[in-house]
Structure 1
């Protein structure tokens, strides 16, 4: 816990922290002010640590461990929305270069030198990329630095980069299957034709080798070969051979009618967004809400999947294990718009998550998540108020008449079901319980070598904000306007009417993030301080409201003929709509549902703040003077 946690004050400003705790034998960690070397990982909850100063060993709780600070001041990288496309392509190229080396427990110089030769870069360069990526486990760490280029770094002019992409797309990846040598000659020819300095042949060949095999096979006319190699057979999924290798996510309405908190009358079915680990079938995260599936549902579910669950279990009064946290290598989803937002794609890329979309009209790709959802929904059919899964099953049963559970009560039941029943019950396909399969994947057994505990994120709020919707806006004298609402705080003052240094005469845009469940404040990232600041409504008389309630107010005013909306009109509209809802809650299900949605939003419970919206980042003293660490860690800005 941090110093701020002791006061239980809401967070109004903080510096994003994307560090993760490495929990492996030999790694250095910190508990309180003492630095330890991990001697042994006992289980999901505890380790044996040896204090580096005294040499004494002691058992330590995994949940209390923190990374050790160094004296090196991390250099803040630019915000992702400010990163140019060529730099993104270069980061992805570097990631493709080191990717074959990332899954290995130990990587020797021979392997690195062999890979460096294969892709045409210097061995030291490849080592540097590996070091930078492993410091943060983020592709952002591989973005070219802007402090100037040193000899040997191989920067390619933007225009030449575009020519290489063009040749790969419309020349190399074609059914004619030209050789790599012909592709090199074609790049040189086109560069000469356009008067562009051509990149070296080795650089071009490196780009060709970095093309993913699946893309190469499909593009060069080997569709059947690609299908046989990469399509999953029934009951299998390619490369899902260790925990968090592949996570599938999907939404479904729960087969139950819930009641509101006040009148305990029916308000309808909630939505469940569920994420499972394909290797073990463990539920890694979920999100339950009366809101229809959206980018927010995905953000909440993914954040909960990544973060530890101890406080979530306390919130829902469930005494059980849920030892799941960490960054998945791949997230596999359907083609819904909520998964295809640019913000979600960039966030996944920055976290090193490969986002894969289910091929259209090929249901076998989503079989694992659909079976998991089906298993959970089947258990719901024993609850009062169930809608069952078919009209035939529901015949003679009135779900609304029998509905008795509130969302809070149902969610407590759901968490208990996941942890105490689903995770513990033998799964027919894997031949054991999901929890046991997860344990084997992490710690290993006589036949399987475990991958070890995943790295634990240090800061909850940073993870959540990285996946929530973002906006880029200029800052005016009155503050910032986002979708018609104005926000202001002193933190904005230094940036009023700031100019864009890259485009003289144009105002600079800044990154803002918000939780759509409560738009009474947004988070502003100050690029010079590398900190987030909470910026409230400029008009403090406006109540907290969700984006959905705000949209209803705007629609009401438009129907009444209002053209230019202002704060007074919005306040009046929201007040009037809430009044009508309160009057109708006793009589109509729709009104009760809307009132309950508002109450749920006002709780402000999220994976980042399952108990209270407080900070969770502790101050960490340095041990660089002990000579234990020498890591070139590069911090980076907002994920947008």
Structure 2
């Protein structure tokens, strides 16, 4: 009887040795001239080797595999099977007789096991058949199993959701009340894990559960630069300070446009006000125009050559994206609006991912509410930046950080992808002054021209160009800047006419300040319809605020800069003559 003994571990290398008939042979020698060696030794068997060409191992062929419980032992056994299969394939290619036995001995398994694995392979049986016969069969008593499933179903219900720990305590109470034996927490967790994730999430999340479990979609990507641009808002989780006194004010909102093909940022707008149509218009103005002036204003050294009118703009379904302003801009500047589907944030996957990148960057800045356990309260104590300083920080990161970093999907920097991609012919080249007025919001109802001018927000505006329009029944479109009411624009034909205060002594104020002043006058019992009184009240209020602010700052400076009171100089050390005088002086006794 011939014996085959492995003298090396089962891991197959060229240096592994097989002993055949008291002689040692290397595996690479057997594979190179195995037929002659085995013939000289008399062979191990006369079984005909089946060539690989007879096997149907095409990937298209369906093979039923039974999954196994993954353990280190089963994983090692599976690796051994693949080693056996690989060695058998090599020996078959070199026409070695009885390759099953030789390959089995080489990997250290019995001859019967080797032929069992070989038979499974020849019949296309699964090699990963490592499972128990009672797998996924509960051995729990029927009463306990039914009660456990009832508790799990109730825990995932919409009307009374329960945590896993709380549901386990409920199950313990029910088992003890019925006199049934208790089960372990691990068993209960396994039963919860056996439930499909969709079945657990659907009662509470509904359709969102199915969308969340779907594979992450890449979303639609433009064919080139400016082909498809996404726009959205983001609330920055960071407390900011006021410019004049550096007191905490609140969080800021960022409106941003991102090119989907190259991932570059085309435009932005940052302010303390919540998202509105004015923010959308200013962000579009920033995207349509070069950024040289922006970089110069913020004092940032860098290159930002990304601008232009997109072919398609993808917003969400917020009210500011359905405004008449955005529709008029799309008609005039010839870009189409392709809104995302309602409740489908993955339709704007690119800009959502970019906001995630910005969020991770802002989290490390002082004043961020996400990095502190106390949220906005701790963020107010740690805040160090104003709105202007945050704008400089973000734009510097976008221009010199994000645009020049390797993007994982593009395998290039966004700036390089934008510069090397073929740019289409510009659809429209907007005029700077006209665009600045176009992106301003307009009144929902037009205004007639009266002998005193045009009345907007109960304020009279005038321009000598309005004289030919007085008395006409036509209502003209009026554009206004909510952050500067000193001017409005009237559209006549294809040109805008700029109208200023009729009373040039009125102060320059925002729409919010004007409304707050009218509300304060109404609360004080005055007539808010008197524009002269409103403007005078606002001017006096601003003067008082400026005086009190200056007095406060002067007091703080005096407190912080006033030198501390100097301590009295310590007395000089007595000399030898002083000591002699003290000793010669008479001793005075205290009076009774």
Where on the TM-score scale, by shorter chain, does this alignment land: which range?
0.5 to 0.7
User: What's the offset of the Cα at 1:237?
Assistant: 3.2
User: What's the offset of the Cα at 1:483?
Assistant: 2.5
- Whether the 8 Å contact between 1:321 and 1:419 is mirrored in structure 2 is yes
Structure 1 Cα separation of the partners of residues 460 and 481 of structure 2: 16
Pairwise mapping of residues 66-105 of structure 1 onto structure 2 (< 5 A)? none
Structure 2 Cα separation of the partners of residues 271 and 328 of structure 1: 23
- Whether the 8 Å contact between 1:274 and 1:373 is mirrored in structure 2 is no
2:516 to 552, 557, 565: 552
TM-score, normalization by structure 1: 0.49
Structure 2 Cα separation of the partners of residues 572 and 464 of structure 1: 30
2:227 to 245, 256, 260: 245
Structure 2 Cα separation of the partners of residues 265 and 397 of structure 1: 13
Structure 2 Cα separation of the partners of residues 539 and 233 of structure 1: 63
> 2:437 maps to which residue?
465
Against the structure 1 CA distance between its residues 356 and 571, is the aligned structure 2 distance closer, same or farther, given a 3 Å change threshold? Answer: same
* Unaligned stretches of 5+ residues in structure 2: 1-213, 553-592
Counterpart of 2:319 in 1: which secondary structure? coil
Structure 1 Cα separation of the partners of residues 536 and 376 of structure 2: 45
> 1:348 maps to which residue?
330
Structure 1 Cα separation of the partners of residues 389 and 456 of structure 2: 36
Against the structure 1 CA distance between its residues 581 and 332, is the aligned structure 2 distance closer, same or farther, given a 3 Å change threshold? Answer: farther
- Whether the 8 Å contact between 1:524 and 1:535 is mirrored in structure 2 is yes
2:479 aligned with 1:486: no
User: What's the offset of the Cα at 1:238?
Assistant: 3.3
* Unaligned stretches of 5+ residues in structure 1: 1-231, 442-449, 499-506, 589-640
Structure 2 Cα separation of the partners of residues 378 and 574 of structure 1: 42
> 1:51 maps to which residue?
none
**How many matched pairs?**
337
Against the structure 1 CA distance between its residues 581 and 370, is the aligned structure 2 distance closer, same or farther, given a 3 Å change threshold? Answer: farther
- Whether the 8 Å contact between 1:539 and 1:567 is mirrored in structure 2 is no
Counterpart of 1:261 in 2: which secondary structure? coil
> 2:448 maps to which residue?
474
**Bigger Cα Rg:** 2
1:374 to 333, 344, 356: 356
Counterpart of 1:522 in 2: which secondary structure? strand
Structure 2 Cα separation of the partners of residues 277 and 585 of structure 1: 45
User: What's the offset of the Cα at 1:479?
Assistant: 0.3
Tell me the alpha carbon deviations over residues 33-84 of structure 1, each in whole angstroms, 9 at most, x when there is no partner: xxxxxxxxxxxxxxxxxxxxxxxxxxxxxxxxxxxxxxxxxxxxxxxxxxxx
> 1:22 maps to which residue?
none
Structure 1 Cα separation of the partners of residues 310 and 257 of structure 2: 11
> 1:569 maps to which residue?
533
TM-score, normalization by structure 2: 0.53
Against the structure 1 CA distance between its residues 277 and 577, is the aligned structure 2 distance closer, same or farther, given a 3 Å change threshold? Answer: farther
Counterpart of 1:271 in 2: which secondary structure? strand
> 1:59 maps to which residue?
none
User: What's the offset of the Cα at 1:292?
Assistant: 1.8
1:236 to 206, 218, 224: 218
Q: Which has the higher contact order (CA 8 A, sep 6+)?
A: 1
- The two structures, once aligned, show a CA RMSD in angstroms of 2.7
Counterpart of 1:270 in 2: which secondary structure? strand
Query: Which structure shows the higher helix fraction?
Result: 2
Structure 1 Cα separation of the partners of residues 256 and 294 of structure 2: 15
User: What's the offset of the Cα at 1:523?
Assistant: 1.6
User: What's the offset of the Cα at 1:579?
Assistant: 5.5
User: What's the offset of the Cα at 1:371?
Assistant: 1.4
Structure 2 Cα separation of the partners of residues 334 and 379 of structure 1: 25
- Whether the 8 Å contact between 1:259 and 1:266 is mirrored in structure 2 is yes
Structure 1 Cα separation of the partners of residues 263 and 228 of structure 2: 10
2:506 aligned with 1:542: yes
- Whether the 8 Å contact between 2:458 and 2:531 is mirrored in structure 1 is no
- Whether the 8 Å contact between 1:272 and 1:287 is mirrored in structure 2 is yes
Tell me the alpha carbon deviations over residues 168-211 of structure 1, each in whole angstroms, 9 at most, x when there is no partner: xxxxxxxxxxxxxxxxxxxxxxxxxxxxxxxxxxxxxxxxxxxx
Counterpart of 2:237 in 1: which secondary structure? coil
